[in-house]
Structure 1
Amino acid sequence: MNIGIMGAGVIAEKMALTLNLMEDAHCYAVASRSAEKAEAFAKAHKVEKAYGDYEEMLKDETVELVYIATPHSHHYDCAKLCLKYNKPVLCEKAFMANAKQAEEILNAFEQKGVFITEAIWTRYLPSRRMIDEVVTSKELGEVTFVTANLGYDIQGVERLQKPELAGGALLDVGVYPLNFISMVLGNEVEEITSTCTKTKTGVDEQNAVILKYRGGAMAVAHSGLLSATEQNGIVYGTEGYLIAEEINNVQNIKVYTKDRKLKWEKHVPEQLTGFEDEVRASIKAIKEGKLECEEMPHGETLRIMEMMDGLRAEWGIQYPFERE
């Protein structure tokens, strides 16, 4: 399938690398608001076509799937433009800047019968199925608690400091712990308590979230831009616990008995970059005539966006374009 990349930043570079390593996908086109940047990207990453305008790429009938790799604040407009030309979309996380945008886009694509999915790669990786199998097998007993954290020292990344670009830790980093917890405990959240500290520009620089679920299970999520964490996800059960190392791209899974003895350890299968799974899932869904990926259904994308909206409301964080 011929893929067109919308945006020419760091995440777009990783997707181009991935596509060039795949046999079942072709890195066909890239579009940027700058023709020079698009041409330089295409030359550096072996992309067949370069466009200095998003719409010009979308007019190219050879493009069969568009990967949106722009900042969160631009996803909404980019997705609307793709829909204008009936282009299927794989949109980088966080899907949109808020739930209102997400609901509008999802409804519009569904009504027009065009595929769209959120490119949060942890939902598509083999490690997700491996963890699911352990949890559903009851090897851990009944799950009672989940913790997940993701922190980096990335406070110097300019984009993340800008409210106008939907910056902050939550949408860029915090979406991973929330998704990890959701993949284990589901969506029956009864109560959420949270807090954060903010940058000088008014976006969250680190945050902590406590979730209480129907049935009594609980979870804690933490994300931040100030310092590196060990980035693990831990699932605690009545018969033992599981540690998933590096929750944003799990490399290793360890299961312990309830007396803290290592029971077994498994490495995840080798990958090209990890992005290939979301691409293949999208291609499969499109060829089957589906409008969403089973790995990340539209309802789940919307639910996580609504949760993040609620957190930001609790923290008093509103992006400038949301006030307009």
Structure 2
Amino acid sequence: MVVPSLPASRVPDSHDAPALRWGIMGPGWIAERFTESVQAHSRQVIAAVGSRSLTRSKAFADAFGVPAAYGSYEELAAAPDIDIVYVCTPHNFHHQAAMLALKAGKHVLIEKPIGLNAAQARDIAERAEAAGVFAAEAMWSFFLPKFDVIRQVLDAGTLGTVTTVTAEYGEYFDRSHRIFDPGLAGGPLLDLGTYPLALITEVLGAPEHVHALGQPHESGVNAQLSAIMAFPGGSQAVMNTHVHNFTPTAATIVGSEATLTIDGPFNMPGGFEIRWPDGTRLRYSEESGSQVNGLHYEAAAVARAIADGKRETPQRTLASSIRTLDVADEIRRQVGIAFQAASGSKVFSTQEVKQ
């Protein structure tokens, strides 16, 4: 057989992207990693930070050399010298925070998940379109060079017909972590499970059937869930996510001609391998690392899209984000997971999720 060579990544150097002035909404752990990454590997400017605590905002600003700090999300959204707001509040504030930015006419990049459910994601997409501004989910993995190569491999049909996708993500957390807080939409589904679900739905589209199982945690959140999915044409997918302990975070895409296995953790920078039945292998190598090594790619891609007058990115379209949350909604319906709203006073029922 003639083995094709791997295509080169088409992802440009992040330093080449036009600079935007970013406002950070929610100075937590992921905001720190994002800021470290873009300051080290791009020309993007972190111009302001805002939170519900001016003390926290000032501490973040001092740590990263950010010139402006605000004591409310509203002040940050209204700041006149900000091009785009990066929303990285707790999950159940994503929708509310994004609405503040959109109403102020700001572009938005919203940490994953873009909302608690597909209805919130659709609302964000509709509001952004009406306002004529950019909006996207910060599913940073899809902006990495290796995922651009994987996308080219799939588009070229190198694997043949994709029959199966398997993906999992498990991690250990200290009991004090917010993932165990029912009031903050805790459990693994939105924190970890969005990665395997996003990969599966990116490769295979929307499933026709979903069968999910869940395991409760003593804290009141979901501890573990697994799902088997069936897609048009007969393809299947299996995913698992939990908060019990660390796993390889492995992902495999099986085709009728060849199998592509992504090194774990599959959602971070790293390599992958394509194997054919006769033992032939092709290897893609990329320096492995954490978010600090890769978050700048999504920031640069967003800056390029906005400079080109686009309202979303091809790496993670709003339709793709909505599709992933549609599946997450169905998993929650079957498992019986309910998330509290941002105020903590209302619970989204499984019926409301589908509206």
Interval containing the TM-score (normalised by the shorter chain): over 0.9
Amino acid at match of 1:301: S
1:14 corresponds in structure 2 to 33
Q: 1:234 to 1:270 in 2, by over 3 A?
A: closer
Amino acid at match of 1:313: R
1:107 corresponds in structure 2 to 126
Residues 244 and 250 in structure 1, CA contact (< 8 A), matched pair in contact too: no
Displacement, 1:194? Answer: 1.0
Displacement, 1:315? Answer: 0.8
Aligned counterpart for 1:180 among listed residues 196, 199, 203: 199
Gaps (5+ residues) in structure 1?
Answer: none
Displacement, 1:13? Answer: 0.4
Matches within 5 A, 1:50-129: 50-129=69-148
Displacement, 1:269? Answer: 6.1
Q: Distance in 2 between matches of 1:209 and 1:155?
A: 25
Q: Compare 264-273 and 166-175 and name the one that shifted more.
A: 264-273
Aligned counterpart for 1:251 among listed residues 266, 270, 273: 270
Q: 1:103 to 1:141 in 2, by over 3 A?
A: closer
Q: What is the aligned residue count?
A: 322
Matches within 5 A, 1:87-236: 87-154=106-173, 156-187=175-206, 189-236=207-254
Q: 1:227 to 1:294 in 2, by over 3 A?
A: same
Q: 1:157 to 1:175 in 2, by over 3 A?
A: farther
Matches within 5 A, 1:6-45: 6-45=25-64
Displacement, 1:186? Answer: 2.5
Displacement, 1:247? Answer: 1.7
Residues 115 and 292 in structure 1, CA contact (< 8 A), matched pair in contact too: yes
Displacement, 1:202? Answer: 2.8
Displacement, 1:135? Answer: 2.4
1:281 aligns with 2:305: no
Q: Distance in 2 between matches of 1:250 and 1:244?
A: 10
The superposition leaves residues 193-243 of structure 1 with CA deviations (integer Å, 9 ceiling, x where unpaired) of 111111123322111111111111111011111111111111112222111
Displacement, 1:320? Answer: 2.9
Residues 254 and 262 in structure 1, CA contact (< 8 A), matched pair in contact too: no
The superposition leaves residues 148-178 of structure 1 with CA deviations (integer Å, 9 ceiling, x where unpaired) of 1111112525311112211110011000001
> 3-state DSSP class of the match of 1:132?
helix
Q: Compare 47-56 and 223-232 and name the one that shifted more.
A: 47-56
Displacement, 1:93? Answer: 0.1
Residues 209 and 230 in structure 2, CA contact (< 8 A), matched pair in contact too: yes
The superposition leaves residues 95-116 of structure 1 with CA deviations (integer Å, 9 ceiling, x where unpaired) of 1111222222211111111211
Of Structure 1 and Structure 2, which has the larger fraction of its residues in strand? 1
1:267 corresponds in structure 2 to 285
Q: Distance in 2 between matches of 1:28 and 1:227?
A: 37
Residues 126 and 269 in structure 1, CA contact (< 8 A), matched pair in contact too: no
Residues 238 and 258 in structure 1, CA contact (< 8 A), matched pair in contact too: no
Q: Distance in 2 between matches of 1:19 and 1:162?
A: 30
1:314 corresponds in structure 2 to 334
TM-score, normalised via structure 1 length? 0.94
Aligned counterpart for 1:294 among listed residues 293, 314, 319: 314
Amino acid at match of 1:293: T
Residues 269 and 293 in structure 2, CA contact (< 8 A), matched pair in contact too: no
Q: 1:23 to 1:252 in 2, by over 3 A?
A: closer
The superposition leaves residues 97-156 of structure 1 with CA deviations (integer Å, 9 ceiling, x where unpaired) of 112222222111111112110001112222212112222333323221111111111252
Q: Distance in 2 between matches of 1:8 and 1:158?
A: 16
Displacement, 1:262? Answer: 5.5
> 3-state DSSP class of the match of 1:196?
strand
Amino acid at match of 2:76: M
Q: Distance in 1 between matches of 2:269 and 2:45?
A: 26
Amino acid at match of 2:339: Y
Q: Distance in 2 between matches of 1:186 and 1:205?
A: 26
Residues 206 and 222 in structure 1, CA contact (< 8 A), matched pair in contact too: yes
